[in-house]
Amino acid sequence: MRRRRTLTGRGAGALLAGVACVVLANAVAAPILLYVGLLLFLLPALSFLVVRIPRRTGTVARQISTDLITVSELSRVTVRFNLRAIRIPHGLWRDVLPDAVAGESGGEYPPRSGQLSYVITGVRRGIWQIGPLMLRTVDPFGLAQREQEFGETRTVTVVPEVFTLAPLTVRVGAAGGTAHTSSSRLGQGSDNLSPRHYISGDSMRRIHWRATAHRGQLMVRQEEEESSPDALVVLDRSAARWDRPGHSADARFETAVSLCASAAIHLVQEGYSVDVIDSAGNVLGELRRHEDDRDGLLVALAMVTPRGDSRDLPTLIGGTPPGPLVYITGRIDEEDAALLRPSGAAAAMLFATEAQPGAMAAATAHGWSTAELGEDIADAWEDALPQRPGVGDAPV
């Protein structure tokens, strides 16, 4: 963060003019110029004391309208600034923002509305610091200025953008995942409305009184245990697939991370239990229809970067093949694609941001539905959707 000079441009000009007057006074023997030069020296010095001597302290508290800011999403930051000073100065305030967050975070102080606030937009995912708050004041002559920082910084998390995706064209049930519905016949009753006959050991609080009155014998609410079919989303972040991280973000990798988040959240909304891992087998998130699970995944994806190597896909999948399998990778050639085996997944979808000639054909031969991943994530998803049996050529 670059600090401002104490003297403004006008103040520096006054000093230079003072030096010129002193030199000229000696050259032409004009005492009046010497007095003018001294005055031009005195004014910046006096202005410096005016802005530097007053003691100011203060506290800063920030409130952000959303806990997590999505890339391209707007969020409002409200700043509570409690300034303690002999007199309230007039100047300009600004909150220091990282490059990953855009916004006009400043204005006049004190504000006319009595409140400091501004709108920010997420630009680049990650965990960043907002602040400190800077207050800049200038003396009445505009010769000297003071910029002072107040308060601590505040952490803001920018998460990948989540897109709305088209529903799967096939429903993957017990054949690919673990979809089943089983009824517990003994023990404590549950909150489910399906009634069954009372069995010794059932809680009397679970008696289904309406069914009991209708059938003339004790009935209890029967527990329905349902588990969703499993889905697996794999983000291949091995270093060989992506460009080396630099000062600016790799647009292809950012798109891949965004698809990873979008696919996982979309599959949960379709009723699947979703595990999200990277190509080394590290768990990035487990989604089980809880809002905390979703936020946890987005925070994990906010910090993910290309690194390390990848393991073979059958090892990642393990002994139980999932229903939908989404594999997201970057630079891939025909040989790499031939080594990717979906291992019995019922709906295998492969996305690559930079597929070499023959790579997608090799993957399709092994049972993948493929699509090249460009800027339009929703279109790529639709291109890779498995077709219903007997429709199209894409394997299911």
For 307-366, what is each residue's pLDDT tens digit? 988 888 888 887 777 789 999 999 999 999 998 988 888 889 999 999 999 999 999 999
**Over the chain, what is the mean pLDDT?**
84
The arrangement of strands across the sheet holding 116-122 comes to 56-64, 74-85, 116-122, 101-103
Whether 56-159 and 230-384 share one fold: the answer is no
Cis peptide bond upstream of 195, omega within 30: no
Alpha-carbon span 124 to 174, nearest angstrom = 40
Residue 81 scores a pLDDT above 90: yes
Is omega for the bond preceding 386 within 30 degrees of 0, making it cis? Answer: no
- Could you list the beta-strand ranges (E) of 86-125: 91-95, 101-103, 106-109, 116-122
In degrees, rounded to 5, the angle at the alpha carbon of residue 369 between the alpha carbons of residues 252 and 263 is 55
Cβ of 279: how many Cβ atoms within 10 Å? 21
Asked which of 79-83, 171-175, 290-294 is least confident by mean pLDDT, the reply is 171-175
pLDDT band at 184 (very low <50, low <70, confident <90, very high): very low
**Alpha carbons 147 and 138: distance in angstroms, whole number:** 9
Mean pLDDT of 150-154: 92
CATH fold, domain 56-159, is Immunoglobulin-like (2.60.40)
Average pLDDT over residues 76-86: 92
Q: Which two tokens stand for residue 299?
A: 């925070």
Q: What is the pLDDT of residue 171?
A: 63
| Domains in the chain: boundaries | 9-52, 56-159, 180-227, 230-384
CATH architecture of the region 230-384: 3-Layer(aba) Sandwich (3.40)
What pTM was computed for the model? 0.75
- For residues 68-93, average pLDDT: 92
Q: pLDDT per residue over 364-389, tens digit each? A: 999 999 999 999 999 999 999 986 44
Q: What is the pLDDT of residues 199-255, one digit of tens each?
A: 766 666 677 777 776 677 777 776 544 444 589 999 999 999 998 877 778 899 999
Residue 163's Cβ-side half-sphere holds a number of Cα atoms within 13 Å equal to: 18
pLDDT in the model for residue 213: 67
Alpha-carbon gap, residue 343 to 174, rounded angstroms: 16
What's the confidence (pLDDT) of residue 88?
85
